[in-house]
Amino acid sequence: MSGPAPGPAHTVGIRLQGIMQSWANGARGAIRPTHTRPTKAGVIGLIANALGRDFADPIDDLAALRFGVRIDEPGRLETDYHTTGNGQYYVLPRELASAPSWWGDTSKTADPSNPNWMNYAPPRAVSDGKNGDESTSLSSSKGNPNITTDQYLADASFLAAVQTSDQELAERIAAALAAPARAIFLGRKAYGPSAPLLEALAAGTIEDLFAGRAAAALASAATDPTRAGVVEIYIEPGEGQDGVVVHDQPITFNGPTRHGARLETRYTLGQPTATLQPAGALSADTDAQDSAHNVFDTLFSEGHTK
């Protein structure tokens, strides 16, 4: 016996706009990269945070949402040289009096009365939780800063959307985005949104929402030579349709973040003013999608992976 037929679609539109935003889609190390658009894992995490859920709370209902993102303003890819665990800061007298010697400048010419004498550093020993064994602790000191190169998107604006047949869930998500339970950020805690998150709560599919609210995005793309009049959309295909495999399907945020695979396809809105992939409905020909000229991916030197 087949299960009950799914109900009508309900879609929540989420405006992701900010001076800076970053959407990781891979392992992070000395270089902390950003994807060229919001990831499903990142947006589901944002929704869970807005709902007030903790890391250990289940996200099965959110992970099952159909996801899509429209590139309204691709922004610029920027990098930031970032250090933690070193440097100097002004201190209060009590801090100066109780400071361990390794916090400060211990050279013979050092002047502890100088507020600049104290160096900022994380604790020398940070336990890694292995039975409290000091020999397995991580070390950090004023001479051992953490140095990273952080990538982010500057002045970008995206319309992300999630779709469900559960009207009550869609309404709860919309209400949480309008009045989040916690502070919301766009990929990193320092990157706050510059526009209200809730763009729309509407009956219908993601495609309906993206097409019905595209006037401003199309007007912007028409004046941007890098996009040549085209607005790009990346979306999870409907049942029975093919797509390209991407690895940003959230599984859990409890402990090490786990991502799985999902399908994604691409189509465009607008009338191209240059030689681009024609605008149209979703295509099941993934080889054609991969070989098609993609202005946004070219702009960021990004290629599709089959």
Asked if 36 contacts 183 with a C-beta cutoff of 8 angstroms, the reply is: no
Q: How high is the pLDDT of residue 174?
A: 98
pLDDT tens column, 180-226: 999 999 999 889 999 999 999 999 999 999 999 999 999 999 988 88
Strand partners, 164: 10
* Both tokens assigned to 275: 């030689």
Q: Per residue in 243-252, pLDDT tens?
A: 999 999 999 8
Strand partners, 266: 234
Residues contacting 50, CB < 8 A, separation 6+ = 173, 176, 177, 180, 181, 182, 184, 197
Query: What's the whole-number mean pLDDT along residues 76-81?
Result: 90
Whole-angstrom CA distances from 292 to 36, 151, 217, 224 are 18, 26, 22, 20
Beta strands in 107-209 (DSSP E): 125-126, 138-139, 146-164, 198-203
Average pLDDT of span 272-280: 54
- Residue 22 carries which side chain, given as an amino acid letter? S
Measured N-to-C along each axis, helices 40-50 and 167-178 cross at an angle, to the nearest 10 degrees, of 80
Indicate the class that CATH gives domain 10-81+153-299. alpha beta
Q: Is the pLDDT of residue 17 over 90?
A: yes
Residue 232 CB neighbour total at 10 angstroms: 26
Model confidence pLDDT, tens digit, residues 29-60: 778 889 999 999 999 999 999 999 998 999 99
Measure the CA–CA gap between 74 and 280, rounded to whole angstroms: 21
CB burial class (10 A; 0-12, 13-18, 19+) of residue 135? exposed
* Contact status, residue 118 vs residue 155, Cβ threshold 8 Å: no
Q: What is the mean pLDDT of the chain?
A: 78
**Res 5: pLDDT:** 53
Domain assignments of the chain as residue spans, ordered by start: 10-81+153-299, 86-144
Contacts of residue 232, Cβ cutoff 8 Å, sequence gap at least 6:
70, 71, 266, 267, 268, 294, 295, 296
What confidence tier does 236 reach under pLDDT thresholds 50, 70, 90? very high
Predicted confidence (pLDDT) per residue in 121-168, tens digit:
444 444 444 455 544 444 444 556 677 888 999 999 999 999 999 999
Cα–Cα distance measured from residue 50 to residue 44, given in angstroms and rounded to the nearest whole number: 10
Query: Which of 80-94, 108-122, 226-240: highest mean pLDDT?
Result: 226-240
Give the residue-averaged pLDDT of 66-91.
81
pLDDT (0 to 100) of residue 258: 79
DSSP string spanning 30-82? SEE---SS--HHHHHHHHHHHTT--TTS--HHHHTSEEEEEEEE--EEEEEEE
The residue among 60 and 295 whose pLDDT is bigger is 60
**Share of residues in the chain with pLDDT > 90 (%):** 51
